[in-house]
Structure 1
Amino acid sequence: MNPFTTLRRHLTPAQINIYFSIACFFSPPVLGSLVSITFNAGGVWSAMLLAAKRRRLNVDRPMLAITVAIYAYCAAMVLASIVNGTLAADLRFFLPLITFLLFPISYSTWSITEKSVLARIAILASTAACFGALAMAVFQYHRLGVRAEGGAGNPIVFATVTCLAVMTCLAGALSGIEKRWKLLVPAAIAGAIAIVYSGSRMIWVAVPIAGIVVLLINRRRFTGASLARFVAIGVVIALVIAAIGSHAILDRADFLVSDWDALNANGDHSTALGLRVAMWEIGFSAFREMPIFGHGISASRALMKQGFQDQYGLSQGFSHFHNGFLTALVEAGLLGALTLASIFVVAAWNAARTLRLSVDPVERFGATMVLVAVITYLTGGMAGILVGHDILDATLMVFLISGTYLASGRTVAPTGKSAPATAPDASRHP
């Protein structure tokens, strides 16, 4: 008998979800693309279970709103290719959209997991991920002499997903869901140090912003005096982290100053900063040519390569314009950029509503997960990748799905079993 079939027969759907959730939260910083493989394989399997009527679609208002935004973005990308007559050339670039299309299916499967169980899995798996990220970062930076990229193979991606793990640990410690805060705080510090070693300057900006938001969300748990003490401790910890990573910080600062001088004094666009400025100039010029539907994915990449050659005499080519919304503007015009923005706007709106109405710790933790993901992706995406990378896309879906479910979703039982009785939710105001 197939061992996987045997294993599946001995595990309940809820138990399978536990292992699946552990893999999704642990793997992004440490095992990289495993999160994409796990999430997409789980989504396809869930789709098969739905088709076989062994699961049922869980549709609630917050999930439906995000689903509409996600599907509108996917439709805008396809429509841009149709309008530009590049559908055949762009087909292979549409494969990453499958990750987004799996959102409502994976949401329905995740909804059979008890909320408190999922919240603790997210916290503890992120704790392990932070320690793993630091171990890999120290080895890569000090032994290999490169910017830390963890298991992601890309410093920006590594820093982004590690930031999410750090904030999950911090939110878990402040929310009181996981009592072992003495484990969570060192894990968050470990993850923050790993981010410093990555050299990703935009995520360095995202970390304090997201951290302050997490603190403000949980401010009710502190009196005025203890909050001041907590802020003081946070400043000391930040200084310690900066001291440990001072070499990496100074190196990246020197590179930025050097690139800035080369760009302003000599018009040198061959540096990291110069390449970004060149891409942004090429991108805005391309957007003005086709502002509504854009150029399509493959044509946009060709335009970038041609622009580097014609305008700057450089033989360069990238898969994106190092700004998530500019990339969407060039590939799918205003329609693409607006629908992409709507995903983050709707997600943040759902989370803010929960934080306004609910005092339940698990629900507020879920809303915090969503807001942290929105802040991290938008900050990093201003000068890097927003969507379109397998690890980032899968991790974004993991946080939007689990966060939305914890914040405002309903728990359902697998088809064929009666749903557990739930008491009226006293945590919400009428």
Structure 2
Amino acid sequence: MAGSMEIRAQPGNCEAKHLNPFTKLRRHLTPAQINFYFSIVCFFSPPVLGSLVSITFNAGGVWSVLLLAIKRRRFNIDGPMLALTAAIYAYCAAMVLASIVNGTLAADLRFFLPLITFLLFPVSYSTWSITEKAALARIAILASAAACFGALAIAVFQYHWLGVRAEGGAGNPIVFATVTCLAIMTCLAGALSGIERRWKLLVLAAIAGALAIVYSGSRMIWVAVPIVGIAVLLVNRRRFTGASMARFAAIGVVVALVIAAIGSRVVLDRTDFLVSDWDALNANGDHSTALGLRVAMWEIGFDAVREMPIFGHGITASRALMKQGFHDRFGLSAGFSHFHNGFLTAAVEAGLLGALALASIFVVAAWNAAKALRLRVDPVERFGATMILVAVITYLTGGMAGILVGHDILDATLMVFLIVGTYLASGRTIVPTGESAPAMAPGASPQP
């Protein structure tokens, strides 16, 4: 019998030898290991590889839907996640409702595709929560560090060799600066939390990322960086005495001055542009400059909100209103996909319902983070809450004069930070269906 069993095993061995590498890889990777590589891409790619984060996140979300359908995964319903899901889905519903009310559903249908990224939130959360928390936190920190170094390399090349504002792999300086700011603060939070012991590497990465943001010329993110940095320091203030906090702040000021000195040409150029635009707007009513266009869009937007305050105009009609407003009121032939203010854009497209629903996403996220910081003492959980705060402050600051949501890279990165941050801060780890315990990601170490 033993001999016959051995003979029957041989064809299987021969079959295994002839399997293609992709099949072998799929058979050997555990769900947690797949999440390991998936997480690296999601945290590394936004500044460096741009839309790859959107492709990866959405593809992973669709795959998770299939796994849930065949019962290879199961929903992980945590209270904070459920509250955030309700806010996200309310925003999506408000956008669709505005189109229905205005009779523009067919015309707006193609603009609803980005909402899929938001709708995948609870599905992706459930799949991500099979990963051991400490391992996932270290992945986020180290991948963000690599992203900061990559962002600087691309920024230097684009600014000094191509002669353009750094836009990284995002193809847009504002988007590039926003996601690089998230990477910087993830490194800083990781260094201060003690999760990753190579804090010197993380500090260097944060400095590299800050230089990349300077090269981007994105003034609103220049404002966001110190605000978010102070928030991260305050979250971790218990780890320092008064003397060490003062010394750390002094070091931060010195580093900021060095960064400003290196990027002084960019800073001066962008400051001169702002002053020039302001003078042109006030003295001559010139709305053709970057500042003038923003002011014109805000005026058109507020007028549009007053016309349709509850449900808005719908997405297609809002863009037509902007073009018409530029032509009729300012004599300009211009048009944009958004009003360079996230909440104003939502209010024009979906009325006050849309703007309030969008605001609720950030309010609920901030509430979840504040609650976790008040109740949790574990470094990994506090790091997760810090990730949420970093995302909320960065997006709100940049979105006041730029893009808040509606861009594929920003939408996917926001979901990544809200999902991972919420899970680390207050979620529970589950095991994949059919497994007895979650496997630790390769290269991961236990929580310190």
For normalisation by structure 1, the TM-score amounts to 0.97
* Aligned match of 1:111: 129
The residue aligned with 2:328 is: 310
Equivalent residue runs for 1:26-425 within 5 Å: 26-419=44-437
Count of aligned residue pairs for this structure pair: 421
User: Runs ≥4 in structure 1, deviation > 4 angstroms?
Assistant: none
SS at structure 1 position matched to 2:123: helix
Q: Deviations over 1:287-321 (max 9, x none)?
A: 00000000000000000000000001100010000
Q: Which amino acid aligns with 1:158?
A: F
Alignment deviations for residues 161-186 of structure 1 (CA, whole Å, 9 cap, x no partner): 00000000000000000000010000
Q: CA offset at residue 239 of structure 1?
A: 0.4
Deviation at 1:248, TM superposition (A): 0.3
Distance across 2 between alignment mates of 1:362 and 1:80: 40
Residue 64 of structure 1: how far off its partner (Å): 0.2
Which residue of structure 1 lines up, in the alignment, with residue 10 of structure 2?
Answer: none
Residue of structure 2 equivalent to 1:425:
none
The alignment's TM-score, normalised by the length of structure 2, stands at 0.93
Structure 2 CA distance for aligned equivalents of residues 9 and 51 of structure 1: 20
How far the C-alpha of 1:2 sits from its partner, in A, is: 6.0
User: RMSD over aligned Cα, in angstroms?
Assistant: 1.0
Give the deviation of 1:419 after TM superposition: 4.9
The one-letter code matched in structure 1 to 2:384 is G
What secondary structure sits across from 1:359 in the alignment? coil
Q: Which amino acid aligns with 1:407?
A: A
Give the superposition deviation at 1:273: 0.2
Q: Which amino acid aligns with 1:378?
A: L
SS of the aligned residue for 1:127 comes to helix
Note the residue ranges of structure 2 that are not aligned, 5 or more in a row: 1-18, 440-448
Letter in 1 for 2:239: R
2:130–2:438: 8 Å Cα contact kept in structure 1?
no
Q: C-alpha distance in 1, partners of 2:438/2:61? A: 24
Give deviations 1:352-400, integer Å, cap 9, x for gaps: 0010011100000000000000000000000000000000000000000
| Cα distance in 1 for residues equivalent to 2:394 and 2:115 | 21
Between the aligned partners of 1:5 and 1:71, the Cα distance in structure 2 is 37
Q: Distance in 1 between matches of 2:367 and 2:22?
A: 41
Alignment-mate amino acid for residue 248 of structure 1: V
Tell me if structure 1 keeps the 8 A contact 2:178–2:394.
yes
CA distance in 2, matches of 1:222, 1:10: 44
- Return the letter of the residue paired with 1:99: T
